[in-house]
Amino acid sequence: MKQPYLFPLALLAASLPASPAQTAQKVLDDYLRAIGGAKALSQIQTATIAGSLTEESTGQTGSYSLIAKAPNRFCLEIIAGPDREVEAYNGMSAWGQDAADGLRTLTGTAAKQAEASARYWNSRLADIKKARINLQLVGVEKVRGRDAYHVQVTLAPGLTREVFFDAGTHLIARETASAGALEFDYDDYQPVGGIQTPHRIEIRRGSHQYKVAVTRAEFNRPVEDTAFDIPHPAGAPLPDIKSLIMEVTKNQKAIDELQKQYTCRVAEEVQKVDSKGRIASTTVREYEVFNIAGDEVRHLLAKNGAPLAGDEKKKEDERFNKEFDKLEKKANAPVDPEKQAKEDAKDQAQISDFLRAVRFYNIRRERFRGHDVIAVDFGPNPDYKPKKTIENIIQKLMGVVWIDEQARDVVRLEGHFADTAKIAGGVLASIDRGSSFVFEQAKINDEVWLPRYAEFHIAARLLVIKARANEIDRYSDYKKFQTDSRIVSMKD
């Protein structure tokens, strides 16, 4: 008779419980334990990593530094010989420097990447929910000959970072950012204040490959906020920013009047986003736009590339003409001087609300789209306690505004909500932290500054309805329009 211990090993193996399936969360949990613990990571307020650097192909030497400060400031600097490359985010605006484009405030995708990098470097993946980060396990790949779990880290819609966790040590072996344009390899982990920290780094950026020997790694060393601000050279005295904003606002009222004389086309792209930040659907609409009595009226012409036709076209023409006629009557109505005075006072009060609720920082001169501009960051005024709903919303905003220095008109405005803005204590509605917008104007016919681009990324709640969406509006084909013209219902 065979003894129990002589049973086939295959049969014994089959009787053992199966290993749990690998998931992104398990990879993350293993990493957090290996690096020193989520609690220890969450207590880091500042991090400074610095070292000597050598460029592989040229042999040029220089330095590397990464400074991060919670919750959302960072500065990454690579110096090799005479070349200096910087990417930074100061909590309100992003900036960069390289040999090709020099020193400048970043905009668009580059600015979003810098803001997302700031959240990533400061979170250290210790609290992905707070940092608005989603993870997805891609698979197992080789990094420097070793198995590594490839996890895609989504920082915002369209912005991802590929992170590879060594299957043996559970520490990060590689990170790829900026759609593969920037790659870090990490090795020689050593404990610093209980946190495992890489002391050898290889960086690939474009055609360059750098080797970094870390000579200084510190956590929670005091770092001034000014360390993350864009440098600006000395020059002519800069204007008083509050007076400048008042001038811009006055000019904007004149623009509103001139804008009534123009019609244009708008291509509106709306993306609905799911709970994980992925784009669920995209709709593109094309409009003819009129400005009447200070209001923008849109006449829908096409949807997803197909012109409106039949009953849908007839219904839209009727809706548009009804709204057009209503606003035209409003525009032609006699002006009540007392009512107009109240409206002007209300506008003035809203400007004052804005100036009280925010602070302006880091005013500087730049070139933007061929114009000499004044750029200035803005953020919440911590010394002011909001008294109105509008002030409460404004005080959650931070960003940067570019103002044409000669015309005193806004060229570009970028902003985002640093915290959730609540209406009626959040009972009626709220706009989530991270919601953002961009607005640009351009000079038309050497006469008036008019909208050319608008972009919104909103996560909000209205009563019990939650919504996440992205919208981009592109304005074009401006033409003079006489408000006494009649718009007739379109026919097939």
10 Å Cβ neighbour count for 284? 14
pLDDT of amino acid 492: 39
Residue 288: what residue type?
E
Residue 480 burial by Cβ neighbours in a 10 Å radius (0-12, 13-18, 19+): exposed
Chain position carrying tokens 């759609």: 179
Alpha helix (H) ranges present in 333-418? 337-357, 389-394
CA angle 278, 281, 282 (to 5 degrees): 115
What b/e string do you get for 86-119 counting C-beta neighbours within 10 Å, with b at 16 or more? bbbbbbbbbbbbbeeeebbbbbeebbbbbbbbbb
- The answer, yes or no, to whether the previous bond of 380 is cis (omega within 30 of 0) is no
Q: Dihedral of CA 438/444/446/449: which sign?
A: negative
Alpha helix (H) ranges present in 185-269? 241-259
pLDDT of amino acid 16: 38
* Residues belonging to the chain: 492
Structure tokens at 431: 């706009």
pLDDT of amino acid 490: 40
Chain position carrying tokens 């910087």: 86
Distance CA 453, CA 264 (A): 12
Judge whether 371 and 443 are in contact, CB under 8 Å.
no
Alpha helix (H) ranges present in 262-411? 310-332, 337-357, 389-394
Distance CA 240, CA 130 (A): 37
Residue 8: what residue type?
P
Residue 424: what residue type?
A
Distance CA 455, CA 443 (A): 19
pTM: 0.75
The structural domains of the chain, ordered by start, are 19-228 (2.50.20), 241-480 (no CATH)
Residues of the chain with pLDDT under 50: 1-20, 483-492
Chain position carrying tokens 């609720």: 357
Judge whether 64 and 83 are in contact, CB under 8 Å.
no
Distance CA 409, CA 405 (A): 8
Distance CA 94, CA 92 (A): 7
Taking Cα atoms as reference points, which of 397, 401, 396, 398 lies closest to residue 363? 401
